[in-house]
Chains A and B, each alone.
Chain A
């Protein structure tokens, strides 16, 4: 039995189908990512699974039970971090966490431990309004975890964070999984999904377009490798003549596109033309863009 079983989930608002026949399963102990551009239906899907909304059709089982009607016994086993910073106004970080601890009937000491674990011990007496973006995110994750849930939902936990704060949070999230929890997160950062997730579902316009491990998705794209060569290393004609090169683009230096990178690199190495060379293989981002298109969306 999976920790989460979603079957044919659909919800419509007027003429738009926000979530369209979504089905997937998340195994116990898995870290599952929901990816998609803004407005793809990630948050709505998550809210349907959490039981905050009722779908027009479809079913959800969380740890074997239905999330609706509201079931306090189930809610005790589930931890949720919502997109916005859902805090009580004017409380300090410690008071915030202790309040949630009491709502879940967990000892206050556990709240203080979590404050330590998410690295906010020094900010214990700071009002939530004065925390930085990263600190607030860590606090809201701690609030979701204070009752030691088996299943955790994180909605865009690293949105609007600087690179340091993001990597800091990655460590925290990866650490949660090692203690055997099932985690579902949404994100629109592909690198994040690639690093953290066991499997990802790529969503757009309310539908799941692909669902697999990040590595399998990238392999499936069968994208060529791009090799950038620094200016002056070789001419465009020389490059085009190399065995295995499909295409040559000129910019600052040259970009060679190939599906046989080993042959091309061996040739360049033999000719001592490796200075300033960069190799870029396809990433999850390429998969994502191939699936969802490149046109700008607000």
Chain B
């Protein structure tokens, strides 16, 4: 235990004191989170984006102060029914307003509850005002306008909800792969690996210490991501979010194995890190870490299924955002551990002591 602790402390200090590795493990992925959060999370916009389906007579008939007030609250454009609903579905518009007879129908998605509630209540206020105006002139009549809400099937998640699992998956893949690749190469180059072979502790102690430190780093990354996401960017975690922990653990093992492979086939630390980058960055793109794969062609989506990161991202999305249960975790865990075993075996086969 003493040897294990000594190694773990030495590795952790080495990581923490290396500015570049801390930057790439924690700061760099967070920069992306902040960037995406800032670009896509403009819920504070003063006007609601309202699409009018064909001619909405109710809106057209607004006059005077009511008209000005309406324009202050809503940014409107007119589209056909189909186009309008599509806009709402994708989250490009907050809501769509449709009039049939005296009935006003608001279409919105369940994703952005706040924006939907605000749109509906403001629209409700205008409808009430119009009803009151009619009732004051025709006492005893029925209120002419009625506001009906209708939920469009949710097709898109909030951007922050979408990007967090993917960026987290990428961050974990990057630091696990780089850490393993650089350690294997660096320790081989400096002969530290040879030196440790001649110290009296078993090999599993050395490997175990390195794995435990990388796991600890990955869990810190997860905590920082989810903490900052919920605190500042409106990330809403589902009840099963903690199931991401076994996913993060298995993902780390899988990407460490990928890093070992990168370290085994290269001849210098720089080469190993470049190789790890060469493996991780395209994988991150193909796994939907940076943008959704929904629009990608079918063959690309098929390729993405061969990427362990795709399974990590999807499973984290399922448990952290969509609120799915243990069933969503099982297969991804099996797949990632399978990758870990195979990649480690290949790396061990290709590893050479001499450069």
Contact B18 A89 (CB under 8 A): yes
Contact A86 B10 (CB under 8 A): no
Q: How far is the CB of A160 from chain B (nearest CB, A)?
A: 15
Please judge, given known A-B contacts A82-B191, A88-B10, A88-B11, whether A103 and B199 are in contact too, CB under 8 Å. Answer: yes
Q: Is B302 an interface residue (CB 8 A)?
A: no
Contact A91 B199 (CB under 8 A): no
Q: Is B208 an interface residue (CB 8 A)?
A: no
Q: Which residues of B contact A75 (CB under 8 A)?
A: 198-200
Complex Cα distance A14/B6, Å?
A: 40
A104: which of B186, B199, B202 is its contact (CB, 8 Å)?
B199
Contact A91 B14 (CB under 8 A): yes
Complex Cα distance A82/B190, Å?
A: 9
Q: Which residues of B contact A91 (CB under 8 A)?
A: 10, 13-14
Q: How far is the CB of B186 from chain A (nearest CB, A)?
A: 6
Please judge, given known A-B contacts A102-B2, A102-B3, whether A86 and B200 are in contact too, CB under 8 Å. Answer: no
Q: Is A234 an interface residue (CB 8 A)?
A: no
A83 closest partner in B (C-beta): B191
Interface residue ranges of A55-105 to B (CB < 8 Å) = 70, 72-73, 75-76, 78, 80, 82-91, 95, 98-100, 102-105
Contact B189 A84 (CB under 8 A): yes
Please judge, given known A-B contacts A51-B198, A78-B198, A89-B14, whether A84 and B191 are in contact too, CB under 8 Å. Answer: yes
Interface residue ranges of B1-45 to A (CB < 8 Å) = 2-3, 5-7, 9-11, 13-14, 17-18
Q: Is B197 an interface residue (CB 8 A)?
A: yes
A-B contact count (CB 8 A): 74
Q: Which residues of A contact B204 (CB under 8 A)?
A: none
* Most chain A beta-carbon contacts within 10 A, residue among B11, B17, B198: B198
A105: which of B2, B13, B18 is its contact (CB, 8 Å)?
B2
Q: How far is the CB of B184 from chain A (nearest CB, A)?
A: 13
Contact A80 B18 (CB under 8 A): no
Complex Cα distance A95/B6, Å?
A: 10
A101 closest partner in B (C-beta): B6
Contact B10 A99 (CB under 8 A): yes
Q: Which residues of B contact A204 (CB under 8 A)?
A: none
Contact B18 A90 (CB under 8 A): yes
A50: which of B17, B186, B190, B198 is its contact (CB, 8 Å)?
B198
Q: Which residues of A contact B192 (CB under 8 A)?
A: 86-88
Q: Which residues of A contact B186 (CB under 8 A)?
A: 89
Contact B6 A103 (CB under 8 A): yes
Contact A104 B195 (CB under 8 A): no
Q: How far is the CB of B18 from chain A (nearest CB, A)?
A: 6
Q: Is A52 an interface residue (CB 8 A)?
A: yes
Q: Which residues of A contact B11 (CB under 8 A)?
A: 88
Contact A103 B17 (CB under 8 A): no
Please judge, given known A-B contacts A89-B14, A91-B10, whether A52 and B194 are in contact too, CB under 8 Å. Answer: yes
Complex Cα distance A142/B117, Å?
A: 71
Q: Which residues of B contact A82 (CB under 8 A)?
A: 191, 194-195
* Most chain B beta-carbon contacts within 10 A, residue among A50, A73, A84, A89: A89
Q: Which residues of B contact A102 (CB under 8 A)?
A: 2-3, 5-6
Q: Which residues of B contact A72 (CB under 8 A)?
A: 200-202
Q: How far is the CB of B179 from chain A (nearest CB, A)?
A: 12
Complex Cα distance A73/B201, Å?
A: 10
Q: Which residues of A contact B189 (CB under 8 A)?
A: 84
Q: How far is the CB of A12 from chain B (nearest CB, A)?
A: 14
A90: which of B2, B14, B196 is its contact (CB, 8 Å)?
B14
Please judge, given known A-B contacts A82-B191, A83-B191, A86-B190, whether A103 and B198 are in contact too, CB under 8 Å. Answer: no
Chain A interface residues (CB < 8 Å from chain B): 47, 50-52, 70, 72-73, 75-76, 78, 80, 82-91, 95, 98-100, 102-105, 127, 143
7 residue pairs of the A-B complex, CB under 8 angstroms, read A47-B194, A86-B191, A88-B14, A90-B17, A103-B196, A103-B201, A104-B200
